[in-house]
C-alpha cells in the first residue's frame, strides 16, 4: 500500500514540486506586470481579471503535465515509471533545474520590489488635481478645460476622507511645472491627479491618472467619456473611480452626492463655463463678461440653477465696481430665488445664499445655516468664507480651526492666505497674521490685500509709522480712494494730523464730485480718519451714513480693531443692535 511518504517521494521524483514552484513564480511575475502595465495603458479591469483566471486554470494543467512528462534538452519526454531503469549514457538533462529556479526567484523578487515601489507607501488621504492638458490645442477652449478642472476638484472634495487642494494653489504648476515629488512636498499631498481633456463636437473625454508622491509611483489610470448633456456626471465618475482605487468607503449618502442623473443643455453649460472663467479673474472687465455669459446661459436654459448662482455671486462681486449695495443686492436676491427653485441641492447655491445673507441682509443666523448646508454637500465649499463669517461674529475659537483647514486645502493661494490673515488679525493674534501676510507677499509681492492687512496690523499693534510706509507702497501700486481712509487713519494715529486732514479732504472731494464708484464704502473711510483724530461723534455720523447705504464692509465692525475707540460709545452700541449682531 502506497503511503503518503511514497506519494511525496514520487511527486519529488517527477519534479512536480519544482514545476509548481516555477509556475507560481512565473504567474506572480505575470500578474504583477499586468497589474502595473495595464494601469498605465488604461486597459479595462476585466482584461486583467481574465489573465488571472487563465493562470489559475493553467496551474492544475501544468502540474498534470509535470507528472507525466519532463522537459529536457532533447525535448519533452515521458517520465519513466518508478523503478524503471534509465539509460545513464547520454541521459537527457532536466531543463527545469536549480538554475531555472534561481532565475525565477530573482525575477519574482525584482518584480515584487517594483510592485511594492509602485504602490502607495500608506493610505492616500490628500490629493491635488494638477491643471489639465488641453488636447484640443485651441487656446479659445481654455475656459472649457479650466471648467472641467474646477469641476473635478469639486467632485473629489465631496469625499469626506480626502483632503483636496484648492484650484488656486495648483494653477501655478501650469506655467511652472515641477517634479511630482516636489509638488507633493510643496502641497503636502500623498498623490496627484494628472489628466487631459478632449472635446470633439458633443463628446468629451477625460483621461486621468493617479500618481503617488512619496515616492513618485504610478497607481491608476483610466479614461472617461460622456456627451455634453451628461457632463455633470463625468467629473463624479472620475472621483468615484479614484475613491475605489484608494479604498475609500463611501456611505450611501456620500455615494449619492457623486451621482447626478440630470442632464444639461450643452450651449447653456458652455456659456456658464465662460461665465465662471471670467468671474475668476476678479477684475472689472471680467465681472462685466461674467454677467454677460451667465445671463446668456439663463436665456438658453431658464432652469439652470448653477447659472443663477453664478449670476448672484457676480452681482455681489460687482458691488462697488458697477453697482451700490442697494442696486446689486436686489439683483442677487432675484437670481438666488430662481437658483433655489431649480437647484436646491447644489453646494454652490447654498454658498451663494450664505454670501448674500452675510453681505446684503446682515442675516447672521441665515448665513450660518446656508454655510452649513453647503458644507454638508461639499465639505470644502466656501470653507474660508465660513471661517471669515465666524470670525466676524467674534467666534474666533471656531473660526481659527476652519481657517487653518482652508489654508491646508489651498496653501499656495494668496487670497486664501490673506483671508486667514484677516481672521487672525480680528482675533488679535497679530504675530501670526503678520507671518501670513509675509507668506502671501513672498508669493505675490504686489498683493494689495496682504499690504493692507499688514498695515492694519502695524496700526493696531502700536506701530503706525510702519503702517504709513505700507500704505505708501499700496498707493504706489494702485491709485484711488480704496485705501485713503486706512492711510489717513494711520497718519492720524501716528500724530501727523496735517497728512490725515489732507487725505480726508481728498475723500470728501470724491463724495462731492460723485466720481468714486465705491461711494457706499467712502463714508466708512471718512469715519476711520475721524476715529484716528479722536473725533468720535463725527465718526459715528459717517458710520450711520454707511449703514443707510448698506455698505457691505460694515459687517466687520464687531471685531475690527479700527473701531476699538468707539466700543463704549452709546451710538456705536445702538448701531450693533440695529445690525442684530449676536452678543
> In this model, does residue 247 exceed pLDDT 60?
yes
Kindly state the average pLDDT of the residues 208-237: 90
How many CB atoms within 10 Å of residue 94?
15
Residue whose C-alpha cell reads 492544475 in the numeric block? 60
pLDDT (tens digit per residue) in 152-179 = 999 998 888 899 999 999 999 998 999 9
Q: Which has more confidence, 78 or 458? A: 458
Mean pLDDT lowest among 45-54, 170-179, 270-279, 477-486: 45-54
CATH number given to 126-260:
3.40.50.10610
Write down the domain spans for the chain.
4-117, 126-260, 480-583
Kindly state the average pLDDT of the residues 227-237: 89
> In this model, does residue 552 exceed pLDDT 80?
yes
Confidence bin at 85 (pLDDT 50/70/90): very low
**Tell me, what's the pLDDT at 91?**
47
Mean pLDDT lowest among 487-491, 513-517, 539-543: 513-517
What is the gyration radius of the CA atoms in the chain, in angstroms? 33
> In this model, does residue 45 exceed pLDDT 60?
no
- Buried b or exposed e, range 230-255, using 16+ CB within 10 angstroms: bbbbbbbbbbbebbebbebebeeeee
- 363 sits in the region (left: phi over 0; alpha: psi -120 to 50; else beta) called beta
Model-level pTM?
Answer: 0.78
**Tell me, what's the pLDDT at 573?**
96
Kindly state the average pLDDT of the residues 400-410: 94
**Tell me, what's the pLDDT at 387?**
96
Q: How many CA atoms lie within 13 A of 77 on its CB side?
A: 14
pLDDT (tens digit per residue) in 181-194 = 999 999 999 999 99
Q: Which has more confidence, 130 or 281? A: 130
The proportion of the chain whose per-residue pLDDT surpasses 70, expressed as a percent, equals 78
Confidence bin at 69 (pLDDT 50/70/90): low
Q: How many CA atoms lie within 13 A of 208 on its CB side?
A: 26
Kindly state the average pLDDT of the residues 375-401: 92
Say if residues 155 and 89 touch (Cβ distance below 8 Å): no
Confidence bin at 58 (pLDDT 50/70/90): low
- Non-local CB neighbours of 52 within 8 Å, separated by 6+ positions: 31, 34
The proportion of the chain whose per-residue pLDDT surpasses 90, expressed as a percent, equals 58
Say if residues 180 and 214 touch (Cβ distance below 8 Å): no
Quick one: how far is CA 340 from the chain centroid? 24
Confidence bin at 516 (pLDDT 50/70/90): very low
Task: Round the average pLDDT of the chain to a whole number and report it.
Answer: 85
CA torsion, ordered 294, 296, 297, 300, to nearest 10 deg: 160
Quick one: how far is CA 516 from the chain centroid? 36
d(CA 25, CA 39): 21
User: Is the preceding omega at residue 102 within 30 degrees of 0, hence cis?
Assistant: no
Kindly state the average pLDDT of the residues 118-122: 54
Mean pLDDT lowest among 33-37, 97-101, 454-458: 97-101
For the ranges 254-268, 428-442, 477-491, the maximum mean pLDDT occurs at 428-442
> In this model, does residue 407 exceed pLDDT 70?
yes
**Tell me, what's the pLDDT at 95?**
47
Helix (H, G, I), strand (E, B) or coil at 88: coil
Kindly state the average pLDDT of the residues 107-122: 56
pLDDT (tens digit per residue) in 305-335 = 999 999 999 999 998 888 889 899 999 999 9
> In this model, does residue 41 exceed pLDDT 80?
no
> In this model, does residue 263 exceed pLDDT 70?
yes
> In this model, does residue 513 exceed pLDDT 70?
no
Query: Quick one: cell of 511?
Result: 463724495
Question: Partners of 220 in the beta sheet?
Answer: 210
- Non-local CB neighbours of 173 within 8 Å, separated by 6+ positions: 130, 131, 183
How many CB atoms within 10 Å of residue 212?
24
Kindly state the average pLDDT of the residues 524-551: 94
Quick one: how far is CA 48 from the chain centroid? 33
Kindly state the average pLDDT of the residues 421-430: 97
Q: How far is CA 582 from CA 366, 386, 388, 422, 568, in A?
A: 13, 16, 15, 20, 17
> In this model, does residue 482 exceed pLDDT 90?
no
**Tell me, what's the pLDDT at 307?**
97
**Tell me, what's the pLDDT at 120?**
46
**Tell me, what's the pLDDT at 102?**
56
Kindly state the average pLDDT of the residues 36-53: 59
Residue whose C-alpha cell reads 454658498 in the numeric block? 351
Q: How many CA atoms lie within 13 A of 257 on its CB side?
A: 21
Mean pLDDT lowest among 59-68, 166-175, 464-473: 59-68
> In this model, does residue 106 exceed pLDDT 60?
no
> In this model, does residue 254 exceed pLDDT 60?
yes
> In this model, does residue 212 exceed pLDDT 90?
yes
> In this model, does residue 497 exceed pLDDT 80?
yes
Kindly state the average pLDDT of the residues 143-158: 92
**Tell me, what's the pLDDT at 365?**
97
- Looking at 72-215, list the stretches that DSSP marks H as alpha helix, in order from N- to C-terminal side: 98-117, 142-157, 167-175, 180-187
Amino acid at each position: 500500500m502506497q503511503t503518503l511518504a511514497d506519494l511525496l517521494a514520487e511527486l519529488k521524483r517527477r519534479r512536480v514540486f519544482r514545476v509548481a514552484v516555477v509556475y507560481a513564480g512565473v504567474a506572480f511575475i505575470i500578474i504583477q506586470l499586468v497589474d502595473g502595465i495595464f494601469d498605465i495603458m488604461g486597459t479595462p479591469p476585466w482584461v486583467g481579471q481574465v489573465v488571472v483566471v487563465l493562470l489559475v486554470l493553467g496551474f492544475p494543467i501544468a502540474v498534470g503535465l509535470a507528472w507525466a512528462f519532463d522537459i529536457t534538452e532533447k525535448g519533452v519526454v515521458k517520465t519513466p515509471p518508478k523503478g524503471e531503469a534509465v539509460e545513464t549514457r547520454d541521459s537527457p538533462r532536466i531543463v527545469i533545474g536549480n538554475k531555472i529556479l534561481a532565475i525565477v526567484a530573482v525575477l519574482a523578487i525584482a518584480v515584487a520590489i517594483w510592485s511594492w515601489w509602485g504602490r502607495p507607501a500608506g493610505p492616500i488621504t490628500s490629493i491635488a488635481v494638477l491643471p489639465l492638458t488641453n488636447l484640443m490645442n485651441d487656446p479659445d477652449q481654455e475656459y472649457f478645460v479650466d471648467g472641467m478642472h474646477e469641476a473635478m476638484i469639486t467632485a473629489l472634495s465631496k469625499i469626506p476622507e480626502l483632503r483636496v487642494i484648492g484650484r488656486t494653489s495648483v494653477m501655478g504648476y501650469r506655467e511652472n511645472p515641477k517634479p511630482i515629488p516636489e509638488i507633493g512636498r510643496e502641497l503636502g499631498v500623498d498623490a496627484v491627479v494628472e489628466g487631459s481633456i478632449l472635446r470633439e463636437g458633443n463628446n468629451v473625454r477625460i483621461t486621468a491618472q493617479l500618481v503617488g508622491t512619496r515616492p513618485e509611483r504610478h497607481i491608476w489610470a483610466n479614461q472617461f467619456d460622456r456627451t455634453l448633456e451628461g457632463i455633470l456626471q463625468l467629473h463624479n465618475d472620475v472621483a468615484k473611480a479614484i475613491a475605489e482605487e484608494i479604498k475609500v468607503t463611501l456611505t450611501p449618502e456620500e455615494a449619492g452626492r457623486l451621482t447626478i442623473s440630470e442632464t444639461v443643455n450643452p450651449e447653456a453649460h458652455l456659456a456658464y463655463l465662460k461665465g465662471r472663467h471670467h468671474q475668476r479673474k476678479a477684475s472689472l472687465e471680467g465681472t462685466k463678461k461674467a454677467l454677460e455669459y451667465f445671463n446668456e446661459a439663463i436665456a438658453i436654459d431658464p432652469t439652470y440653477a448653477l447659472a443663477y448662482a453664478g449670476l448672484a455671486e457676480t452681482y455681489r462681486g460687482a458691488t462697488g465696481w458697477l453697482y451700490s449695495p442697494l442696486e446689486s443686492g436686489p439683483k442677487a436676491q432675484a437670481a438666488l430665488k430662481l437658483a433655489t427653485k431649480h437647484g436646491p441641492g447644489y453646494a454652490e447655491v447654498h454658498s451663494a445664499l450664505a454670501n448674500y445673507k452675510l453681505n446684503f441682509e446682515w442675516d447672521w443666523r441665515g448665513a450660518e445655516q446656508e454655510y452649513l448646508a453647503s458644507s454638508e454637500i461639499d465639505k470644502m465649499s466656501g470653507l474660508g468664507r465660513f471661517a471669515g463669517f465666524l470670525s466676524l461674529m467674534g467666534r474666533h475659537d471656531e473660526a481659527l480651526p476652519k481657517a487653518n483647514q482652508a489654508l491646508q486645502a489651498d496653501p499656495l493661494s494668496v487670497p486664501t492666505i490673506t483671508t486667514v490673515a484677516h481672521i487672525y488679525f480680528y482675533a488679535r493674534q497679530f504675530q501670526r497674521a503678520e507671518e501670513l501676510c509675509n507668506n502671501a507677499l513672498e508669493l505675490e509681492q504686489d498683493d494689495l490685500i496682504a499690504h493692507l492687512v499688514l498695515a492694519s496690523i502695524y496700526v493696531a499693534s502700536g506701530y503706525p509709522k510702519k503702517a504709513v510706509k505700507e500704505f505708501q507702497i499700496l498707493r504706489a501700486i494702485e491709485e484711488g480712494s480704496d485705501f485713503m481712509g486706512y492711510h489717513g487713519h494711520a497718519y492720524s494715529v501716528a500724530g501727523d494730523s496735517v497728512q490725515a486732514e489732507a487725505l480726508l479732504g481728498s475723500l470728501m472731494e470724491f463724495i462731492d464730485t460723485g466720481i468714486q464708484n465705491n461711494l457706499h464704502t467712502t463714508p466708512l473711510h471718512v469715519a476711520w480718519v475721524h476715529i484716528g483724530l479722536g473725533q468720535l461723534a463725527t465718526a459715528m455720523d459717517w458710520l450711520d451714513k454707511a449703514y443707510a447705504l448698506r455698505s457691505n464692509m460694515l459687517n466687520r465692525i464687531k471685531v475690527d480693531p479700527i473701531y476699538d475707540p468707539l466700543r463704549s460709545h452709546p451710538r456705536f452700541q445702538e448701531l450693533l443692535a440695529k445690525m442684530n449682531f449676536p452678543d
